[in-house]
Amino acid sequence: MGVLADPLRLTIVNRLLTGSEEYDHTCGWFGFDRPKSSLTHHFKALREAGVIRQRQHGLERRSRVRTEDLDDRFPGLVALIANWQPADAEAV
Encode pLDDT of 15-43 as tens digits: 888 876 666 667 667 778 888 788 889 99
pLDDT of residue 73: 94
Q: Is residue 44 predicted with pLDDT exceeding 90? A: yes
Interval 70-83: pLDDT, tens: 999 999 999 999 99
Its pTM surpasses 0.85: no
> What per-residue string of b and e applies to 64-92 under the rule 16 or more CB within 10 Å gives b?
bbbbeebeeeeeebbeebeeeeeeeeeeb
DSSP 7: H
- In the chain, the domains with their CATH numbers are 2-86 (1.10.10.10)
3-state secondary structure 40-89: HHHHHHHHHCCCEEEEEECCEEEEEECHHHHHHHCCCHHHHHHHCCCCCH
